[in-house]
Structure 1
Amino acid sequence: MLGLIGEQISNQASFDQRNYGYKKLSDLFTAIDLFKSKMTQGLVIWVRDIKRAKQQAK
């Protein structure tokens, strides 16, 4: 879940997506195009590594 990823990032480093020009972490993840994201019930955003998803599909 993207929220958990955000918590982990903030615990490990002084990271702020606004330093990269994005208001929300979800906008940054969408822009870098390395992750596949899916919103469920309009509240939770699930994120998956595109490379890993392709490897598991084989």
Structure 2
Amino acid sequence: MNPDTLRDRLRFVLSKRESLLQLLEQPDLGTLRIDVNQALEELDELLAEVQRTFPDLES
């Protein structure tokens, strides 16, 4: 995979992170809040790992 494709895919994933944050603000989320929090944590870990693996890759 070339760096431009990787950048595009990372931007796409980051845009979904914003959707999760907006979902988390919903007052009637109930127990789904746990799953949304977990998804955010795992996404943040994935992005941190990508940054460690490809330090020269800017999103």
| Structure showing the higher strand proportion among its residues | 1
TM-score, normalised on structure 1?
0.27
TM-score, normalised on structure 2?
0.27
Larger radius of gyration: 2
- Answer 1 or 2: higher relative contact order, Cα 8 Å, separation at least 6: 2
| Structure showing the higher helix proportion among its residues | 2
